């Protein structure tokens, strides 16, 4: 038995015969179903108490391990567009299930909880960041977080006290930042974004977006819609 990944809320282990288990500290039926019902994890089963997923795969690794392997092959940490589209497709499929079935979102996305199965399936396991969508399309921020926990939207950066409410589409901005970072691997611009004022943040993100090699493609415009200044006007449409 080999431990692939662990944090305070879950661990991933490999057993004999390429059998993998994701063990959660707490019941996570919605998160588990967002992976099994959508078939992002294929052929998997859940325990009756929804604290474990079991599935067969050739490989399971953290995103950073995947990124380092791609770097060795291609000489860069930046991933190609096809891989980015696959990451986007899987994460959006998972998020869509969470919203439509359980009225929940991840308040933020990070690289640490991004897991890669068979080098072509991407799942997000940040169960501690799940939050309910309440009336008026807002979500409650009821616990402290840091700028290092995940890619932080401008709305989250403006929170001065807890509890606070923000629009649930704040998560679209975090997802857009995650994808933009994967495209560019640019810590400097993201760190500058964290330091400037609220109005300057959107300018900084637009400047960052305009540096990518996918400018004026469908993927570029999708990221633009995720990173819209107005939370209510954000959407995830690939057209």
DSSP characters for 179-198?
Answer: HHHHHH--HHHHHHHHHS-H
- DSSP codes of every residue in 13-65: EEETTTEEEEEESS--HHHHHHHHTTTSSTT-EE-TTSSEEEEE-S-EEEHHH
Predicted confidence at residue 134, as pLDDT, reads: 95
pLDDT-based confidence at residue 128 (cuts at 50, 70, 90): very high
For residue 125, give the nearest of 136, 135, 115, 140 by alpha carbon.
Answer: 115
User: Could you report the per-residue pLDDT of 93-117, keeping only the tens digit for each?
Assistant: 999 999 999 999 999 999 999 999 9
Rounded CA-CA distance 40/72 in Å is 27
**For residue range 64-102, what is the model confidence (pLDDT) as tens digits?**
999 999 889 888 777 888 899 999 999 999 999 999 999
Domain ranges of the chain: 59-233
Is this prediction's pTM over 0.85? yes
Q: Which CATH superfamily is domain 59-233 in?
A: Transferase(Phosphotransferase) domain 1 (1.10.510.10)
- Read off the pLDDT of residues 192-216 as tens digits, 9 standing for 90 and up: 999 988 889 999 999 999 888 888 8
Residue 238: the pLDDT is: 61
């Amino acid at each position: 038995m080999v431990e692939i990944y662990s944090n305070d809320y879950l661990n991933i282990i490999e057993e004999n015969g390429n059998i993998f288990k994701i063990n959660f500290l707490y019941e996570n039926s919605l998160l588990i179903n967002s992976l099994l019902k959508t078939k992002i994890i294929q052929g998997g089963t859940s325990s009756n108490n929804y604290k474990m997923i079991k599935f067969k795969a050739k490989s399971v690794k953290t995103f950073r391990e995947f990124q380092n392997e791609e770097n060795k092959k291609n000489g860069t940490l930046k991933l190609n567009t096809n891989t980015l589209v696959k990451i986007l497709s899987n994460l959006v499929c998972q998020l869509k299930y969470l919203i439509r079935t359980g009225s929940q979102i991840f308040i933020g996305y990070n690289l640490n909880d991004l897991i890669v199965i068979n080098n072509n399936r991407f799942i997000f396991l940040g169960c501690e960041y799940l939050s309910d969508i309440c009336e008026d399309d807002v979500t409650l921020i009821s616990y402290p977080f840091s700028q290092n926990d995940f890619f932080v939207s401008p709305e989250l950066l403006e929170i001065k006290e807890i509890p606070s409410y923000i629009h649930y589409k704040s998560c679209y901005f975090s997802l857009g930042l995650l994808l933009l970072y994967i495209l560019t691997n640019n810590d400097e611009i993201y760190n500058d974004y964290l330091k400037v004022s609220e109005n300057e943040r959107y300018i900084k993100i637009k400047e960052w977006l305009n540096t990518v090699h996918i400018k004026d493609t469908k993927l570029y415009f999708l990221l633009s819609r995720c990173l819209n200044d107005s939370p209510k006007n954000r959407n995830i449409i690939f057209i």
